[in-house]
Chain A
């Protein structure tokens, strides 16, 4: 069955960096676009970034453009999100989600940006 497992979250000071990972299994990872979607505490869902199946196309929400980088390693079935210059407003649960229609989601990893 499809499984997505995020890791790498934690507490980080404003301005610092963090890298999230999402390990995929149960499907042909290299055949699907992958996304990061976040949810601030008590708030709704916000799409963050998407990468095409082969990693050649990447797009970002305006709120993270220039600070976050999405990437993937199809040989390791793993999706990444490099987050730099973190701000308090980046505090959220970060989910990886498969496909352009978000048909499967991981359980999420909490990122807290606080001094």
Chain B
């Protein structure tokens, strides 16, 4: 199972928006509405930010939003804040053969 493709980096100034893409195939992203996004600060564990494409866990600011079109999912961070600077990973359900989710390659978001 190949990793989902994300851009290596993205950036924006405080208050601006940044959108990160996550491209897979019809066997993962395009086939299921089970795309999640994780935020990881240096030396810390990943944190779930978005699940089932668009849903936010309790406590996640509504500045974070998710969407999907075809085989590509996206995470948008609006009103960028300094604490949003982190690595972001997507993941998608990849079928019941292995009960596993495949991860994206990761995107480093820099707040300028």
Contact = CB atoms under 8 A, between A and B. Distances in A.
B is bound to A: yes
A100 B101 contact: yes
A103 B57 contact: yes
B46 A105 contact: yes
A35 B101 CA distance: 10
B106 interface: yes
Contacts of A59: 98-100
Interface in A75-115: 95, 100-108
B86 interface: no
Contact of A101 (B51, B103, B105): B51
B103 A44 contact: yes
A46 B99 contact: no
A52 interface: yes
Interface in B84-110: 89, 91, 93, 98-106
Given A33-B99, A61-B100, A103 B45 contact: no
Interface in A20-63: 33, 35, 44-47, 50, 52, 57, 59, 61
A99 to B, nearest CB: 10
Contacts of A108: 45
Given A44-B89, A45-B106, A101 B45 contact: no
Nearest to A106: B45
B64 interface: no
**Interface class of chain A by DSSP:** loop
A89 B35 CA distance: 28
B36 interface: yes
A102 B48 contact: yes
A40 B76 CA distance: 27
Interface string B24-37: 00000000001010
Contacts of A35: 100
B47 interface: yes
A11 B104 CA distance: 28
A103 B51 CA distance: 8
Interface of B: 3, 34, 36, 38, 44-48, 51-52, 57, 89, 91, 93, 98-106
